[in-house]
């Protein structure tokens, strides 16, 4: 079987759908190269002296791991000089990172969660990088935070890398979802799954059950029905899976079906959910929808939400369409 590299795949997509510009192709290649570098650091673990806390906090008030900081730096440095970006934004940084004046300014905006699932870093469980690409608004001068506040439906590309037993890159440019596996010996990304589709029917769900006492009634009702199993209203047994790394949980759902939930709860009504709209929910929603699934905040499609701030949080329900529609229906009622 002929091996198709990431570059070849993107060039063919450029010709076929005229969907991606040469600049966007280069941008995706640079992000993929940065993910390769992060994968190398992750793989070294304790041998590279990169485990443990960096003893700093990010803008979210979360303690940063050394690898969070390293991954953020890798992505910034890799993407600064190529000429295809106007600015970047990261979950780890308070405000945007404009491209330094010494480099040409491009027409795209890049957002990323440099290392998702950082609580798993020190215990050798799958973690990942999530990224999202927007086009800069027409006639934009110096980039501002405002330029980034576009609904997820306007993303031109989204993807994630998962650093597990294999390193994989899952990518969409709006024409389906494809998966590439890193050939560590050759150092190249090889296409290993074309046009991924989320299975329609599922018997798996992912949620942090320890927060159950804080859930709102629609989530409580939905989970109670799943847990009732064969004898309950759903008439079948469900399994729960929870990796506490969104990338790993979504990757499983993409391959096996299921529903991933991080709902808002009663603990802090001012925080609508834990996940960030721009760095996590939007890119994952685009990928999931492109694979035939659905993604909502419990009331509306995630990709239709117009962001009001760079680090806005949002409840997330995504995965197999019928399940997402069911739990969303309970909220709407």
- Model-level pTM greater than 0.85? yes
Task: Reply yes or no on whether the pLDDT at 295 is more than 90.
Answer: yes
**Alpha-helix residue ranges (DSSP H) falling in 176-264:** 217-227, 246-256
- For residue 333, the model assigns a pLDDT of 86
Number of domains in the chain: 2
CA-angle at 21, arms to 9 and 186, nearest 5°: 35
Whether 28 and 108 map to the same domain: the answer is: yes
Is the per-residue pLDDT at 325 higher than 80? yes
Residue 200 is predicted with a pLDDT of 87
Does the annotation place 82 within a ligand binding site?
A: no
What region does 90 belong to: left with phi over 0, alpha with psi -120 to 50, or beta?
beta
Whether 2 has a binding-site annotation, put simply, is no
User: For the segment 82-108, what is each residue's pLDDT rounded down to a tens digit?
Assistant: 999 999 999 999 999 999 989 989 999
Is position 198 within any domain? no
244 and 185 part of one domain: no
**Cross-strand bridge partners of residue 254:** none
Q: Say which residues have a Cβ less than 8 Å from residue 14's Cβ, sequence separation at least 6.
A: 20, 21, 22, 25
pLDDT at 311: 95
Per-residue pLDDT tens digits for 28-46: 999 999 999 999 999 988 8
Of 31-40, 51-60, 197-206, 315-324, the range with the lowest mean pLDDT is 51-60
**45 assigned binding-site residue:** no
Structure tokens at 94: 């308070």
- 40 within a domain of the structure (yes/no): yes
Establish whether 62 is an annotated binding residue.
no
Is 90 exceeded by the pLDDT of residue 281? yes
Instruction: Evaluate whether 61 touches 44 at the Cβ level (below 8 Å).
Output: no
Asked if the model's pLDDT at residue 15 lies above 80, the reply is: yes
Is residue 263 helix, strand or coil? Answer: coil
Is 248 contained in some domain?
yes
Res 140: pLDDT: 86
Confirm or deny that 116 is annotated as ligand binding: yes
Q: Decide: residue 141, CB within 10 A, 0-12 exposed, 13-18 middle, 19+ buried.
A: exposed
Mean pLDDT of the chain: 94
In a domain, 199, yes or no: no
Q: Is residue 185 one of the residues assigned to a domain?
A: yes
Residues 23 and 152 in one domain: yes
Six-digit token string for 194: 């074309």
Regarding predicted confidence, which is higher, 242 or 200?
Answer: 242
In the chain, what's the furthest Cα-to-Cα distance? 66
- Residue 280 annotated as part of some ligand binding site: yes
Q: Would strands 204-206 and 259-262 be described as parallel, antiparallel, or unpaired?
A: parallel
Examine the domain organization and report whether 108 and 219 are in the same domain: no
Q: Which residues pair with 20 in a beta bridge?
A: none
pLDDT score of 141: 85
Together in a domain, 209 and 73: no
Which domain range does residue 256 map to? Answer: 204-332
CA 156, CA 286: separation in Å to the nearest integer?
Answer: 10
pLDDT at 37: 96
149-195: pLDDT as tens digits:
999 999 999 999 999 999 999 999 999 999 999 999 999 999 999 99
Last residue of a domain, one of 166, 193, 220: 193
Q: Which residue has the tokens 């405000």?
A: 95
Residue length of the chain? 333
pLDDT at 50: 78
Examine residue 1 and state whether it is found in any structural domain, yes or no.
Answer: no
CATH number reported for the structural domain that contains residue 142 in this entry: 3.30.540.10
Residues 32 and 164 both lie in one domain: yes
Is residue 211, in this structure, part of any structural domain at all?
yes
Lowest mean pLDDT among 5-14, 115-124, 184-193, 288-297: 115-124
* Annotated binding-site residue? 6: no
Which structure tokens are listed for 193? 């799954």
Lowest mean pLDDT among 197-206, 268-277, 295-304: 268-277
Is 119 within any annotated ligand binding site?
yes
Both 144 and 11 in one domain: the answer is yes
The DSSP code for 185 is T
| Whether 187 and 326 share a structural domain | no
Distances (CA, A) of 224 to 134, 207, 215, 228, 323: 39, 13, 12, 6, 14
Note whether 128 and 260 are same-domain residues. Answer: no
117 known member of a binding site? yes
């Amino acid at each position: 079987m002929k091996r198709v590299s990431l570059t070849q795949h993107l060039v063919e997509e450029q010709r076929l759908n005229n969907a991606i510009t040469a600049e966007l192709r280069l941008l995706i290649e640079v992000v993929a190269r940065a993910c390769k570098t992060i994968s190398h650091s992750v793989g070294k673990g304790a041998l590279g002296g990169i485990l443990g806390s960096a003893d700093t906090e990010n803008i979210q008030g979360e303690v940063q791991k050394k690898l969070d900081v390293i991954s953020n730096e890798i992505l910034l440095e890799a993407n600064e000089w190529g000429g295809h970006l106007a600015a970047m934004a990261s979950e780890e940084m308070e405000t945007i990172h404009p491209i330094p004046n010494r480099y040409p300014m491009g027409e795209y905006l890049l957002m990323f969660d440099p290392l998702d699932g950082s609580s798993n870093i020190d215990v050798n469980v799958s973690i990942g990088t999530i990224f999202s690409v927007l086009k800069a608004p027409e006639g934009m001068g110096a980039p501002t935070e405002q330029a980034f506040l576009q609904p997820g439906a306007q993303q031109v590309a989204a993807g994630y890398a998962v650093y597990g037993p294999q390193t994989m890159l899952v990518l969409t440019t709006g024409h389906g979802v494809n998966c590439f596996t890193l050939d560590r010996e050759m150092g190249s990304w090889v296409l290993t799954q074309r046009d991924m589709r989320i299975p329609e029917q599922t018997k798996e769900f992912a949620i942090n059950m320890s927060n159950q006492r804080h859930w709102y009634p629609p989530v409580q009702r939905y989970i109670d029905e799943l847990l009732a199993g064969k004898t309950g209203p759903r008439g079948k047994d469900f399994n729960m899976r929870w990796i506490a790394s969104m990338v790993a949980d979504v990757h499983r759902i993409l391959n096996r079906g299921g529903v991933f939930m991080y709902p808002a709860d009663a603990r802090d009504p001012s925080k609508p959910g834990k996940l960030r709209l721009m760095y996590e929910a939007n890119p994952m929603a685009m990928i999931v929808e492109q694979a035939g699934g659905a993604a909502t905040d419990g009331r509306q499609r995630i990709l239709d939400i117009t962001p009001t701030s760079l680090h806005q949080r949002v409840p997330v329900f995504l995965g197999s369409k019928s399940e997402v529609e069911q739990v969303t229906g309970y909220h709407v009622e």
